[in-house]
Amino acid sequence: MSLALIAALPFLGALLPGLMIRAGRDACAAMTGSVTLLALVLLGLHAPAVLSGEVVQTRIEWLPALGLNATFFLDGLGLLFAGLILGIGLLIILYARFYLAKSDPMGQFYTYLMLFQGAMVGIVLSDNILLLLIFWELTSLSSFLLIGYWKHLPEGRQGARMALAVTGGGGLAMIAGMLILGNIAGSYDLTVILQHKDAIQASDWYLPALILILLGAFTKSAQFPFHFWLPHAMAAPTPVSAYLHSATMVKAGLFLMARMWPVLAGTPEWFWIVSTAGLVTMVMAAKIAFFKDDLKALLAFSTVSHLGLITMLLGFGTKAAATVAVFHIINHATFKAALFMTAGIVDHEAHTRDLKRLGGLRTLMPITFGIALLASLSMAGIPPLNGFLSKELMLEEAAHTTWITPWAMGVLATIGALFSVAYSFRFLAHGFLGPVRSDYPHKPHDPGPALWGAPAALALLVVVIGLFPMASVAWLVNAAASAVTGEAVAVKIYHWHGLEAVALWMSIAAVGGGLAMLGAYPRLRAIWDAAPRPEAKHIFDGIIGSLAATARASNDALHNSSLSRAIAVAVLAIAGAAALAFSGGMHLPGSRDLMPVPPLVAVIWAVMLLAAVAVPFLHRERVVALILVGVVGLLIAPFFVLMSAPDLALTQLSVEVVTILLMLLALNFLPKTTPVESPASRRLFDAGIAGIAGTGIGWLAWEMMTRTAAFEPISHFHLAQSKPGAGGTNVVNTILVDFRGYDTFGEIIVLGIAALAIYALSENLLRSPAVTRRLGLMRPEREAGDRHPMMLVVSTRLLLPMAMMVGVYIYLRGHNMPGGGFVSGLVFAIAYLMQYMASGYGWSHARQRYDHHVLIGWGVLIATLSGAGAWLFGLPFLTSGFEYVHLWPLEEFELATAAIFDLGVFLCVLGAVLLALASLSRLALRAGEVVNTRAYDIENPGEAR
């Protein structure tokens, strides 16, 4: 459980900053930091077990049938990464507290940061690859939010979009690759997959899976040719750059390569793809970094270069190289995060990060300079700092690796190291050395210890690891490298390998060459500025632009914004597909006995059909069409009565009344006639389509009705269990409130949402000036003499209590006889609507004590509570209370649980119907309808006008 808790803690912690920010920025940062600290402590508790070679596991079954379980495991590699993520995360939280300006929403920042932290910890602890993929995509999403944190900056928004497109796209490729691996291994658990090296490497699917997974890793870790997004992501606030783009997120790709190393590495494909990509990235990015003037851009390309170095080492596929890779991951995280924070301090104090405007900060900011000096010397690989140790080991490995020729790899790696020395020294020389200038945008001085504390702690690590590598980190490197390679690793890190070590001479050449390069900087810069270079952002924008244009063109071609055309095409396609399917299959003639036609039904049928067929001919007069549709709808009710469906008849009748009322009301705001627009040929064509579809459906219904079902209907169960199981004799009602109660529960919520949506839409309309103007012009041309006739008012008043009594009666009998909450709610609604019709909406509404929203809310709440009541008895949600009938004193309750649920249905239906119609009526009020002060007009007609 505790591993899952470690992964869950940052997510839980993400909720806190939003709340704590009200208590001030210090409290907010402290709270956020303490969550991270707690996770770090929990992780630390597992460290002894992991270091002794154990693998800690946590397993929570979720969807075992799909192989999707929340399984976590912690080995040396996971411990290293989780420690980096949480440890540096803690420093970043401290740093960000003092870095962010007062105007920046800090609660939001910490929330995003914690989301990201949780996703990262999730990646490194996941055992299940599906779970890992979810966390992987979460890091893309949360980093999108972090990069675009300064929403007002266009670079921030564009950088965030580019990062999301590249890393998210790579993640999609990786999903496919991981699924292939899972299929080969027969399990989605990493621990199982890692044991199937031979099966995976022998599979035909090895190469596709490898390429897809590497696409994910390369995009995330900014390897060539996907490196271009990282420098643009530097538009993020510096704490984000330090955390995501140096220490953690960009290392997720490296983590993945290291994690999959036991099964994927060791083949020629792996060697050529991975080490080449790493080598090219390392050399190219280091060269670009040298010419960057923006401190963060320089560090960004340097990060890309170092990621390339680690990728290259992993690509070698040897145990020794993988161990060096792990070592360099630790070293790079320490010095690079410190450098980013230093760059942030310079930006914060001098208000610029441009090397051309800086220089001389050594005397103005001695503490910052000290930190920058240690970290950048380490980056350059100067002894005895930690960067030197891993760089020596890297050069040694490169020198002994054959890539095209035996010496090419060594030479190129030396050149990469040379560039690295050059840009590290340029960072120092052009930023901190030289004379103090008089034209800084802001007079710089050292900030307080709160801001330099975090980078200073990292700089201290740089020195400690550099001086005492065996005592300080060898244990961690051993544990992580053993996890990567699957064999016990006992690393030996020395400062001095003797004069015969080739790496020493490569190092000396790199330092000398780097210093020479810095000396020749002005001339090299002139050449660089004159040389044409492809701008990755333009290429990227071009690709995205052309994709968008293609999508738009195909969309416009398929969809010309014509609803009629879309419907026609869809209907014809469905009819065609149905005809094809039907002609392809085999079927026997129907054998079911036909039912004789009762004379009454024949009459009803004829009237209904007549009304239906008349609609297309008379539909231009909208009121007439509406009446005809009403006739059809009402005549369906007796059909249901005759066909043994009394509940349906009741529902159809009451819904029909409400629907027609709604449409009549709506017609107030719409034109009363439909003009002739389409030519006769078009109408004939439409009629043809409608005829084809109608014939098809009618025929299908005929074929269905003349046959008995191929399978026994499941409703035998409902019929048999209705009385003993649900305690009611009306099976339709017991299905609604008991057997399928969850469906009904969902349905009343949908109905409530629909009503609220109507309310919200009408509210929006009332706010729009154009709508109000148009409503104001919409004075009725002709009104009835009596708007609120006394006869109608008096009779509806009398009917109100009677209708309510009928409603209550229908509700109470519902469980055993036709009726129930749906019908009862509709009857009540109609009784209220009659009052609206008689005395006007405004008059009635003023006398109504409860809002319709409240009814909907109570309805859903009561239904929920009646369902949740079953939990008290240890039963699943919505279990009917009938089971407890024989237990004293619950006898009184047993009938109640289903009835209480039905009460919720009743309230929700009532509220929804009334809210929908009331929303329309509010439009009418705005349209200039006068609220009458009396119930009817007879006494003083003038008042109502």
> Does residue 298 touch another protein according to CB under 8 A?
no
> Does residue 864 touch another protein according to CB under 8 A?
no
Report 453-492 residues binding another protein (CB under 8 A).
Answer: none
* 21, 97 contact by CB (below 8 A): no
Among 41, 527, 701, 791, binds another protein (CB under 8 A): 701
Nearer to another protein, 562 or 940 (CB): 562
CA dihedral 695, 697, 699, 700 (to 10 degrees): 160
Nearer to another protein, 43 or 915 (CB): 915
DSSP class per residue in 415-441: HHHHHHHHHHHHHHHHHTSSPPPS--S
In whole angstroms, what is the distance from residue 385 CA to residue 462 CA? 6
Nearer to another protein, 470 or 700 (CB): 700
Query: First CA to last CA across the chain, in angstroms?
Result: 73
- DSSP H stretches of helix in 248-294: 249-264, 268-270, 276-290
* 867, 741 contact by CB (below 8 A): yes
* 409, 402 contact by CB (below 8 A): yes
**Shortest approach of another protein to residue 632 CB, angstroms?**
6
> Does residue 797 touch another protein according to CB under 8 A?
no
CA atoms within a 13 Å half-sphere pointing along the CA-CB vector of 803: 19
CA angle 798, 801, 805 (to 5 degrees): 140
Stretch near another protein under the rule CB under 8 A, chosen from 332-340, 376-384, 406-414, 669-677: 669-677
**Shortest approach of another protein to residue 324 CB, angstroms?**
52
> Does residue 52 touch another protein according to CB under 8 A?
no
Among 162, 280, 731, 903, binds another protein (CB under 8 A): 731
Stretch near another protein under the rule CB under 8 A, chosen from 22-30, 393-401, 468-476, 919-927: 919-927
Among 395, 751, 860, 918, binds another protein (CB under 8 A): 751
Nearer to another protein, 662 or 896 (CB): 662
> Does residue 513 touch another protein according to CB under 8 A?
no
CA atoms within a 13 Å half-sphere pointing along the CA-CB vector of 143: 35
CA-nearest of 310, 177, 182, 317 to 254 is 310
Judged by CB under 8 A, the number of residues near another protein is 121
> Does residue 729 touch another protein according to CB under 8 A?
yes
Cis peptide before 724 (omega within 30 of 0): no
> Does residue 708 touch another protein according to CB under 8 A?
yes
**Shortest approach of another protein to residue 541 CB, angstroms?**
17
* 823, 806 contact by CB (below 8 A): no
Q: What are phi and psi of 437, to 5 degrees?
A: -95, 170
Q: Which two tokens stand for residue 262?
A: 């036991």
> Does residue 550 touch another protein according to CB under 8 A?
no
> Does residue 686 touch another protein according to CB under 8 A?
yes
**Shortest approach of another protein to residue 546 CB, angstroms?**
15
> Does residue 804 touch another protein according to CB under 8 A?
no
Paired residues of 70 in beta bridges = 60
Among 179, 408, 463, 666, binds another protein (CB under 8 A): 666
DSSP class per residue in 767-801: H-HHHHHHHHH---SS--S-SS-HHHHHHHHHHHH
Nearer to another protein, 314 or 916 (CB): 916
> Does residue 671 touch another protein according to CB under 8 A?
yes
> Does residue 774 touch another protein according to CB under 8 A?
yes
Provide the 10 A C-beta neighbour count for residue 819.
26
Instruction: Name the helix (H) or strand (E) containing 118.
Output: helix 106-125
Among 200, 329, 855, 923, binds another protein (CB under 8 A): 923
Q: Is 242 in a helix, a strand, or coil?
A: helix
In whole angstroms, what is the distance from residue 413 CA to residue 839 CA? 90
Nearer to another protein, 613 or 791 (CB): 613
Among 274, 909, 918, 935, binds another protein (CB under 8 A): 909
Q: Which amino acid is at 17?
A: P
> Does residue 681 touch another protein according to CB under 8 A?
no
In whole angstroms, what is the distance from residue 293 CA to residue 356 CA? 7
Nearer to another protein, 363 or 706 (CB): 706
> Does residue 881 touch another protein according to CB under 8 A?
no
In whole angstroms, what is the distance from residue 196 CA to residue 192 CA? 7
> Does residue 754 touch another protein according to CB under 8 A?
yes
Report 596-655 residues binding another protein (CB under 8 A).
Answer: 596-598, 601-602, 605, 608-609, 612-613, 615-616, 619, 622, 625-626, 629, 632-633, 636, 639-640, 642-648, 651-652, 655
Nearer to another protein, 453 or 616 (CB): 616
> Does residue 806 touch another protein according to CB under 8 A?
no
> Does residue 658 touch another protein according to CB under 8 A?
yes
The mark string for 807-836 relative to another protein (x by CB under 8 A, - otherwise) is ---------xxx---x---x----------
Q: Is 214 exposed, middle or buried (0-12, 13-18, 19+ CB in 10 A)?
A: buried
> Does residue 878 touch another protein according to CB under 8 A?
no
The size of the chain, in residues, is 945
**Shortest approach of another protein to residue 744 CB, angstroms?**
7
* 165, 144 contact by CB (below 8 A): no
